[in-house]
Amino acid sequence: MIRASCLCQGIALEIRGEIRDLLYCHCSMCRKSHGSAFRARGRVRTADLHWVRGEAQVRYYESSPGEHRGFCSVCGSNILTRFDARPKEVGLALGILDDDPGARPMCHVFVGSKAPWHEITDSLPRFDEFPQGWAKSPDPG
Ligand SMILES: [Zn+2]
Ligand SMILES: [Zn+2]
């Protein structure tokens, strides 16, 4: 079990399963949404997501058609992204994790949209969009 919570602690959830496909997204929507150089996110099965408290405190913003970014309506923490086309999975913001997910980010995506003031200094693969194989389940959140 992996625990997660928002800044104000009003929202808490547990992931009873694995977090997969961890990556860093440098697209402009993720940068604005997080107020940061990039978004660190992973893929979680909706069935593995269990709310401990605060589900009603999550507000959603539809940043692209069918893509709903959920955040804490009290403290603003990014929580998860839901996809109308793929209800069986969510994109989880890794910054809210309280436990080590075990897996590590495997690449950077949308580096063509990278903030000019941010320099990527690790050796992970970099992609201008999503790497091959992601095309079948495009998952920008
Ligand atoms: Zn909060
Ligand atoms: Zn993004």
Q: What is the mean pLDDT of residues 87-106?
A: 97
d(Cα 94, Cα 43) in Å, to the nearest integer?
10
Ligand 1 centroid distance, CA of 31 (Å): 19
Instruction: Give the pLDDT band of residue 140 (cuts 50, 70, 90).
Output: very low
pLDDT of residue 121: 97
Contact 93, 8 (CB under 8 A): no
**Whole-angstrom distance, CA of residue 141 vs CA of residue 127:** 16
What is the rounded average pLDDT for all residues in the chain?
93
Torsion of CA 63, 112, 109, 138, to 10 degrees: 50
pLDDT score of 69 more than 70: yes
Residue 103 predicted with pLDDT over 80? yes
pLDDT tens-digit readout, 15-67: 999 999 999 999 999 999 999 999 999 999 999 999 999 999 999 999 999 99
Question: How far is Cα 90 from Cα 79, in angstroms, rounded to an integer?
Answer: 10
Query: How many Cβ atoms are within 10 Å of 81's Cβ, its own excluded?
Result: 26
CA of 93 relative to ligand 1 center, distance in Å: 13
Nearest ligand (C-alpha, residue 40) = 2
Q: Which residues surround ligand 1, an ion (CB under 5 A)?
A: 6, 8, 10, 72, 74-75
Ligand nearest to the CA of 96: 1
pLDDT at residue 139 tops 80: no
The pLDDT assigned to 130 comes to 81
Maximum CA pair distance of the chain?
40
Please state, for a pLDDT cut of 70, what percent of the chain lies above it. 94
Residue 137 has pLDDT above 70, yes or no: no
pLDDT at residue 131 in the model:
77
